[in-house]
Copies of this chain bind each other. A is one copy, B any other.
Amino acid sequence: MTLDKDKGLEMLRVMLMTRAIEERLIRLYHQGKIYGGVYTGYGQEATGAATAALAGPNDIFTPCIRNLSAHIGRGASAMDVFRQWLGRKDGPTGGRDSNVHFGSAENGVYAMISHLGAMIPVCVGAVMGRRYRGLDSVGFAFIGDGGTSTGDFHEAVNFAAVRDVPVVIMIENNHYAYSTPTREQYRCKHLVDRAAGYGIEGIRVDGNDAVAMAEALGPVVEDIRRNPRPVLVEADTMRMRGHGEHDDFSYVPKELLDAYAARDPIRLARKQAADHGWADDAAADALAGEIQSVVDDAYKAALAESRPDASTLTLGVYAGD
């Protein structure tokens, strides 16, 4: 599959927006202006951008910690994101849940719970639910290298395989789970080696190259849409910052960071946009500038919004009450 200009530019926009928001969040954290921790997907923006570019209106996403780009790709605005991080009353979780734990029913994006792996079966079930109702739906379930060690990962992938549910299990192998390197996490060569054990296809992709990913996965997604079954994807990428901003990630060798810094997904996407004639440097700069001001405005607007009212604490524990 060859990507068209619209998709190419859309991916670039998603990545730029994601980066701009997260840079702001990082700054806010170090200024002491964020309540709680800050966790980003810095350097991993391509996976969410590429999968969102392949997804249709009824598709389901269950993003993990590092997948702000998936949220943005599915339609989350900078405003939604800041409202969430600032715990605003009108944000996606109304201040009840924190940071990356938000979603959007309209966008088919689920708000993750923290227990790693636990959202994969939710993704599988949501796709089953939509398909039961006759909708053409495919799922995109994100998980880290560390998250593949959970029982939930195994149960859910096997369940999807047995029930023929079209879900892309997107493993973002970013070399570390918090401080734990992959050699203390698993012993197979590549995590896609697990695919055979579920009787499904496994595909390795360069997780920093959105264009290549979209081109490689496009036909696969179309195929599982028609012939429903899960597929396991392992995207090689790198967490370019600490687990959270409190973490100096001194346990990561500098050479490894340097190697991936040289392959920054946004730099690469800009180069590809130029090469394909979708946007030259000036056009990309202009886009980045526009996005930056959307992000700046959104932050300011969210900051001015109200916080949740303590009197609402016990409302909505149950639906329908």
- A43 to chain B minimum Cβ distance, whole angstroms, is 26
Residue on B with the closest CB to A149? B158
Chain B hits for A197, CB < 8 A: 188, 191, 193-197
Interface residues on A, range: 20 to 34
- A225 to chain B minimum Cβ distance, whole angstroms, is 19
Chain B hits for A188, CB < 8 A: 161, 196-199
Q: Are B149 and A155 in contact (CB under 8 A)?
A: yes
- A221 to chain B minimum Cβ distance, whole angstroms, is 19
Residue on B with the closest CB to A196? B193
Within 8 A of B (CB), among A73-131: none
A37 within 8 A of B: no
A254 within 8 A of B: no
Q: Are B162 and A151 in contact (CB under 8 A)?
A: no
A187 within 8 A of B: yes
In angstroms, Cα B186 to Cα A159, docked, is 8
Chain B hits for A204, CB < 8 A: none
A185 within 8 A of B: yes
In angstroms, Cα B36 to Cα A232, docked, is 44
- Most B Cβ at <10 Å: residue of A154, A159, A186, A193: A154
In angstroms, Cα B150 to Cα A213, docked, is 32
A133 within 8 A of B: no
Of the residues B184, B191, B193, contact of A162 by C-beta under 8 Å: B184
Chain B hits for A155, CB < 8 A: 149-151, 154
Residue on B with the closest CB to A185? B162
A34 within 8 A of B: no
A153 within 8 A of B: yes
Chain A 171-215 per-residue mask, 1 if CB under 8 angstroms from chain B, else 0? 000000000000011111101011111111000000000000000
A10 within 8 A of B: no
Chain B hits for A296, CB < 8 A: none
In angstroms, Cα B196 to Cα A153, docked, is 16
A152 within 8 A of B: yes
In angstroms, Cα B156 to Cα A154, docked, is 12
Chain A 274-289 per-residue mask, 1 if CB under 8 angstroms from chain B, else 0? 0000000000000000
- Most B Cβ at <10 Å: residue of A150, A184, A185, A197: A197
In angstroms, Cα B29 to Cα A267, docked, is 72
- A182 to chain B minimum Cβ distance, whole angstroms, is 10
Chain B hits for A152, CB < 8 A: 151
Chain B hits for A187, CB < 8 A: 158, 161-162, 198-200
Across the A-B interface, the 3 shortest Cβ-Cβ residue pairs = A151-B151, A187-B199, A154-B154
A residues at B contact (CB < 8 Å):
149-155, 158-159, 161-162, 184-189, 191, 193-200
